[in-house]
Structure 1
Amino acid sequence: MSVRARTRFAPSPTGDLHIGGVRTAIFSWLLARHTGGEFYLRVEDTDQERYVPGATRRILEAFDWLGLTLDGGPDHDELRAMRTNEDYPGALDDGEYKGIPGPFVQSHRLHLYKQWAEWLVAHGYAYRANETPEELQRMRAEAQARKQTFIFREEMRLRTDVRADEPHVIRMRVLPRSGRTEFDDLIKGRLSFDNAQVDDQVLLKMDGFPTYHLAVVVDDHLQGVTHVLRGDDWLPSAPKHVLLYRYFGWPEPQWAHVPNVLGTDGKKLSKRHGAQSVFEFRDQGYIPEALINFLALLGWAPGGGDEQNVFTREELIAKFSMEGIGSSPAVFDYNKLDWLNGVHIRRLPAEDLAARLVPFLARAGILVDTPEQRARLLRIVPHVQERIKKLTDAAPLVDFFFSDIHPPPAEMLVGPKMDRLQSLEALRETRRVVAEVEPFEDALLEQALRALCQALGLKPTQLFTVVRNAVTGKSVTPPLFATMAILGRKTCLIRLDRAIARLQSGM
């Protein structure tokens, strides 16, 4: 695609970002980056009744965590001037970065919506109305009794002499009343809507706030949006927006309505399917590289026979195109996400993975807060990196490195197809060997303990099971000899002595 795309993501500050919305944001971001264009964030806070304090800050934090860089968005001054102070350390210093005109918070743009709503009235594309909520509800009830869809039209007004200086709303006229509104969609092709089924939408409310329909058209035009990517849920509103562009005489953006994300049961993704917000995925141990990779593949593929599944951000940017987005709903498969997360974890440098693990270990009660502990974790990481799919998987594999353990129960110290006496002898001989290995390194430990297997007439699985359980208290751990080397000779000897005592006491 040769056109430099300017795209936006425009969430409402009514809660944390839903993962389906984030998928659409990723598509918008990838399109802008692929074409060398711009991607910006606009906060659509015109629904003041559903406003949630702190939600805008959380949205910006989610974008930071995901690594979705912005070319425009609310700056510190705009965020502080919101209904509640939404300032965020990572906000842009200048809201007009790269020339995208602000403000980027809709409640700061009310004069623009008023101006353009009045323009529509003056040019015959909109009218004033002042039906009360109770009157409108009665109209809806009457339509329901007739088993009809309630569609408000100008001729239904109860009062036609509404003055500009009295409380009222401004509604758009759907023109012409008959016929169809048609437009092209990059994903769905040519779309057509019966004008008789499109209601005279409220554009400006009595309180001076616009509805989404007016605000999104005015803002997208004034801020130079070239491509509008949004979910299928917005399709019923599309003809209203197309008509408004045509009333104003503004060039339309390219439309792209992205199919919904479904759960594995074929129903629209919801809380019953699991995590819903970016932060829920983050807290469950998913990393942003994997989540972006996974969400990009929900409905998009590189095409041309390219079956690549694992992408870096740079690879996604290079290969992304609107042609690759399918028209069918995508299924959210946690098994694939877990697999991708494990792949991306294995791609991380050890230092990076260690740093990411620290807060997850702390949540499990494992503090890594001294230089010695951080150095130990760095030694451990290469041995667990291949074994974990999520950052939360690491704690049970490493806890015994950072805290003492209770001697395992006697039955856990008896090896497979061994009795207690054989297991006790194996532990005593292991203790002797461990005390003598010099230097205390994993390769020499393995060499010495394999030789001990032969001397005792045991299979490696038998001896190594007993030793693993004795020094870690667990049956599943990182590789045994690396584990012992990291624990150190002194710790291994103490734990072997305790295991020997435990096994002796049970005889």
Structure 2
Amino acid sequence: MVGKRVRTRFAPSPTGYLHVGGLRTALYNYLFARKMGGDFIIRIEDTDQSRKVEGAQQNLLKTLEWAGLVPDESPSKGGDFGPYLQSERLEIYAGYCRQLLEDGNAYYCFATSEELDENRQLQMKQGLQPKYNRKWLPESMGGTMPESETKKMLESGAPYVIRMKVPDYVSVWFEDIIRGPIEFDSATIDDQVLMKSDGFPTYHFASVIDDHLMEFTHIIRGEEWLPSMPKHLLLYEFFGWEPPKFAHLPLLLNPDRSKLSKRQGDVAVEDYINKGYSREAIVNFIALLGWNEGEGCEQEVYSLDELVERFSLERVGKAGSIFTIDKLNWLEKQYIKERPVAKIIETIRPILEEELSSKACLLDRQTITSDAYLTEVVELMRERVGFEHEFVTFSSYFFFEPESWEEEAVKKRWKADTNQLLAEFLPVLETLPDFTADGIEAALKAFVEPKGLKAAELIHPLRILASGVSFGPSLYHMLEVLGREAVLRRIRKGMECISVPA
């Protein structure tokens, strides 16, 4: 393998959505290949036709493309992002299966599902690890079944599978890049099925053949595949092939250290996309679930190019990684703070247009959809939103008239003379020469000081009337962005609708 061009692969099954763990596997394969100047390939392992979900393959590819993980080879028809499909390679697997049969490393098995289940239950009652009892192992391979019986069953057309014969009393060893040396005893290894009764290969068989034929140098996958390693290594040995290097990634865990599952929250990448998380934040977050740059490095925000430059499998840990949604939320905020205004506007304008098509708006539509106005809103709200869509949904008062006023805030902030104060302050706002944040602040302070009042006596009511809520950015800057006409209209309307406490 020395001197070979590095080649990695992500090989999902089309059985549903892309799990965040799957995205991490794809990302680490991508980063390692790019770091080493190699190739990143996608292969769809669709040999289990019973679990295949309509549309799953397209969704997997769409999500990977969204994340920026575009493969280097696209052999399938119908687009530039087509993967290898195992279902199109059945003749290849059949040929290698015949080779194993001829070499005495595989055999026909006609056991029924009822027989297999009965055998499994019996072994479990005896406290044994369930394994196939080798009833159909031929006499020529050390078993008890006469070859004539196997021939008879084949001629009758009885359904069968083909099993690999695991050698007795051997040790299977390999060096994992992340975990170091790992050894297995063949006594714990079952005679796995290689070819199913429907003529399709099992994952284990097809995967090993394809990994060799496609010349992958490194197999980077989740630690749940560790128990399958001895089966795979034995197949490499049977065929006389040099195995690739292996790296098994740590599990993803919930905060309570249980295995990450849908029972405790979202696990599909698509769910996080739909909630508004950006590609940059998700990819950055996923990269840090198991990998770190090393001691002394405090950087946590990485671009994809930076991840490629600094990633290494040696810095991936063995211990399970905690999936902390707070960290993802923090990263999303960091990206929003640094993202160019033009990029944010590109995202939020379609959201705003959709909202405007269904809601009444007294503001000038051309003005509030303009780059100039949206830039003011973005710069004012950057520190306060968690998602880009919140520039519209969380800050709707910049685009729509308040339909109600926060009830608890009104009870807390309104006094008997609040409306009177507002009525007296209205002419000040109407005639203010400089309707800017500084001008409004100076005018408000000049208005309340002679009356012996605190600025808060007007600040809170003005915020509630102008926005409908008691929280938000600097009041003075908010009023400047809304503009004099909208502010005066909202104050007057609110004063008519809000009852003064008795």
TM-score clears 0.5: yes
Q: Could you say which residue in structure 1 is the equivalent of 2:423? A: 428
- Letter paired with 2:104: G
Q: Could you say which residue in structure 2 is the equivalent of 1:284? A: 275
Q: Could you say which residue in structure 2 is the equivalent of 1:469? A: 464
Q: Could you say which residue in structure 1 is the equivalent of 2:491? A: 496
1:457 equivalent in alignment to 2:452: yes
| 1:102-147 deviations in Å (ceiling 9; x for gaps) | x701111111111111111122221222222222222212222322
CA contact (8 A) 1:465 1:475 kept: yes
Q: Return the offset for 1:305.
A: 2.5
CA contact (8 A) 1:397 1:477 kept: no
Q: Distance in 2 between matches of 1:209 and 1:411?
A: 65
| 1:30-79 deviations in Å (ceiling 9; x for gaps) | 111111111121111111111110001110111122122221246443xx
Q: Distance in 2 between matches of 1:408 and 1:388?
A: 21
- Letter paired with 1:142: L
Q: Return the offset for 1:466.
A: 1.5
| 1:205-264 deviations in Å (ceiling 9; x for gaps) | 121100000111111111121111111111110111011111111121110111101111
Q: Could you say which residue in structure 2 is the equivalent of 1:225? A: 216
Q: Return the offset for 1:371.
A: 5.0
Query: Is the alpha carbon distance of 1:362 and 1:27 closer, same or farther for their aligned partners in structure 2, counting shifts above 3 Å?
Result: farther
Q: Distance in 2 between matches of 1:332 and 1:410?
A: 38
1:171 equivalent in alignment to 2:163: yes
- Letter paired with 2:399: F
Query: Which of these residues, 129, 138, 158, is aligned with residue 149 of structure 1?
Result: 129
CA contact (8 A) 1:33 1:317 kept: yes
Q: Distance in 1 between matches of 2:190 and 2:174?
A: 18
Query: Is the alpha carbon distance of 1:301 and 1:285 closer, same or farther for their aligned partners in structure 2, counting shifts above 3 Å?
Result: same
Q: Return the offset for 1:3.
A: 6.8
TM-score by length of structure 1 reads: 0.88
Q: Distance in 1 between matches of 2:444 and 2:311?
A: 53
Query: Which of these residues, 328, 334, 337, is aligned with residue 328 of structure 2?
Result: 337
Query: Is the alpha carbon distance of 1:506 and 1:489 closer, same or farther for their aligned partners in structure 2, counting shifts above 3 Å?
Result: same
- Letter paired with 1:383: L
Q: Could you say which residue in structure 1 is the equivalent of 2:24? A: 23
1:187 equivalent in alignment to 2:188: no
Query: Which of these residues, 466, 475, 478, is aligned with residue 483 of structure 1?
Result: 478
Q: Distance in 1 between matches of 2:430 and 2:4?
A: 70
CA contact (8 A) 2:415 2:501 kept: no
Q: Could you say which residue in structure 2 is the equivalent of 1:7? A: 8
Task: Provide the secondary structure at the position in 2 that maps to 1:420.
Answer: coil
Q: Distance in 2 between matches of 1:300 and 1:12?
A: 25
Gaps of 5+ in 2: 138-144
Q: Could you say which residue in structure 2 is the equivalent of 1:382? A: 379
1:296 equivalent in alignment to 2:287: yes
Q: Could you say which residue in structure 1 is the equivalent of 2:44? A: 43
Is the deviation greater in 450-459 or in 431-440? 450-459
| 1:440-459 deviations in Å (ceiling 9; x for gaps) | 33333333333334344333
Query: Is the alpha carbon distance of 1:171 and 1:33 closer, same or farther for their aligned partners in structure 2, counting shifts above 3 Å?
Result: same
Query: Is the alpha carbon distance of 1:140 and 1:273 closer, same or farther for their aligned partners in structure 2, counting shifts above 3 Å?
Result: same
Task: Provide the secondary structure at the position in 2 that maps to 1:182.
Answer: strand
Q: Distance in 2 between matches of 1:323 and 1:371?
A: 55
Q: Return the offset for 1:274.
A: 1.2
Instruction: Report 1:229-268 matches (<5 A).
Output: 229-268=220-259
TM-score by length of structure 2 reads: 0.89
Q: Distance in 1 between matches of 2:293 and 2:85?
A: 35
Q: Distance in 1 between matches of 2:72 and 2:112?
A: 42
Q: Distance in 2 between matches of 1:365 and 1:173?
A: 67
Query: Is the alpha carbon distance of 1:253 and 1:386 closer, same or farther for their aligned partners in structure 2, counting shifts above 3 Å?
Result: same
Query: Is the alpha carbon distance of 1:4 and 1:342 closer, same or farther for their aligned partners in structure 2, counting shifts above 3 Å?
Result: farther
Q: Could you say which residue in structure 1 is the equivalent of 2:307? A: 316
CA contact (8 A) 2:14 2:44 kept: yes
Is the deviation greater in 161-170 or in 487-496? 161-170
Task: Provide the secondary structure at the position in 1 that maps to 2:369.
Answer: helix
Q: RMSD of the alignment, in Å?
A: 2.7
Is the deviation greater in 352-361 or in 195-204? 352-361
Q: Distance in 2 between matches of 1:500 and 1:155?
A: 88
Is the deviation greater in 49-58 or in 353-362? 353-362
CA contact (8 A) 1:410 1:506 kept: no
Percent sequence identity over matched residues?
A: 37
Task: Provide the secondary structure at the position in 2 that maps to 1:41.
Answer: strand
Is the deviation greater in 394-403 or in 34-43? 394-403
Query: Is the alpha carbon distance of 1:210 and 1:343 closer, same or farther for their aligned partners in structure 2, counting shifts above 3 Å?
Result: same
Query: Is the alpha carbon distance of 1:179 and 1:34 closer, same or farther for their aligned partners in structure 2, counting shifts above 3 Å?
Result: same
Query: Is the alpha carbon distance of 1:75 and 1:435 closer, same or farther for their aligned partners in structure 2, counting shifts above 3 Å?
Result: farther
